A = this chain, B = another copy of it.
Amino acid sequence: MNLILLAAQDLLDDHCAVVRDPRRLRHLREVHRANVGDELTLGVVGGKLGRGRLTQLDADEARFEVDRLDQSPPPPLPVHLVLALPRPRMLARSLEHVTALGVKQITLLHTRRVEKSYWQSPELRPEKIHQHLVLGLEQARDTVLPEVNLATRFKPFVEDRLPGLLEHRRGLLAHPGMRDACPRGIDEPTLLVIGPEGGFIPYEVERLLEAGCHGIHLGGRILRVETAVTALLSRLF
């Protein structure tokens, strides 16, 4: 938690913020070992960042005197990430990684090799997803929550939604065995599609290429989804 991320209702007025949830209070005490008088980085969800002085810390709440919230969050990555739904624990970590890296649009996609039971996981409940996004923002000192969409059927996504998404974005399909290596340091709006453990099936690869995605690979090594996602984003942008 490199940032105390405040919801609008945590700001009592322009100069006073209050934190009451047990997770953050515990983190302030146990990790920051914060004392009254300490200065910490604060930010408002969707807004600016700045510094605040801890004026009170007890079992039920922490209060901050807010100095000035005038710094912009770090720039986002120009990418819409389409990720085959990973298994629940991997999903949790991947959401944190990609949020910390600056992804702002995430679509979780069903594909043939995604186990159907994953869609029933409690990790997909909006409040759980929100929790992981917040952890990613707190880590990276960012305030802008990503949007997460669920695409529970492959074909309707590729036929009905993908063409619109690709109108103003370069489409990249990361898949082992594609001809071209992942490009480096591109700076244009991109849609990046990443398959599940075990990969896309050939039918899915064909549909995604037909829809206008360009196939890329990361070399001969097979990586876990969470490693591959970070490696791809870091190399691309």
Once bound together, how far apart are the Cα atoms of A227 and B2, in whole Å? 15
B140 touches A222 (CB 8 A): yes
Once bound together, how far apart are the Cα atoms of A100 and B185, in whole Å? 23
**What are 12 A-B contacts with C-beta separation under 8 Å?**
A96-B224, A100-B221, A100-B222, A102-B221, A139-B223, A139-B224, A140-B222, A141-B220, A141-B221, A141-B222, A184-B184, A227-B230
Once bound together, how far apart are the Cα atoms of A143 and B184, in whole Å? 28
* Chain B, residue nearest A223 (CB): B100
A220 touches B74 (CB 8 A): yes
Which of A74, A96, A223, A232 has the largest number of chain B CB atoms within 10 A? Answer: A223
A221 touches B184 (CB 8 A): no
Once bound together, how far apart are the Cα atoms of A195 and B39, in whole Å? 23
Instruction: Provide the residues of chain B in CB contact with A53, threshold 8 Å.
Output: none
Instruction: Provide the residues of chain B in CB contact with A184, threshold 8 Å.
Output: 184-185, 235
A residues 178-236 in Cβ contact with B at 8 Å: 184-185, 218-224, 227, 230-235
B219 touches A74 (CB 8 A): yes
- A144 in the interface, Cβ–Cβ < 8 Å? no
Instruction: Provide the residues of chain B in CB contact with A223, threshold 8 Å.
Output: 100-101, 139-140
- A97 in the interface, Cβ–Cβ < 8 Å? yes
Which of A218, A231, A234 has the largest number of chain B CB atoms within 10 A? Answer: A234
A234 touches B224 (CB 8 A): no
A residues 1-44 in Cβ contact with B at 8 Å: 2
Once bound together, how far apart are the Cα atoms of A184 and B235, in whole Å? 8
Instruction: Provide the residues of chain B in CB contact with A221, threshold 8 Å.
Output: 74, 100-102, 140-142
* Chain B, residue nearest A135 (CB): B224
Once bound together, how far apart are the Cα atoms of A154 and B196, in whole Å? 41
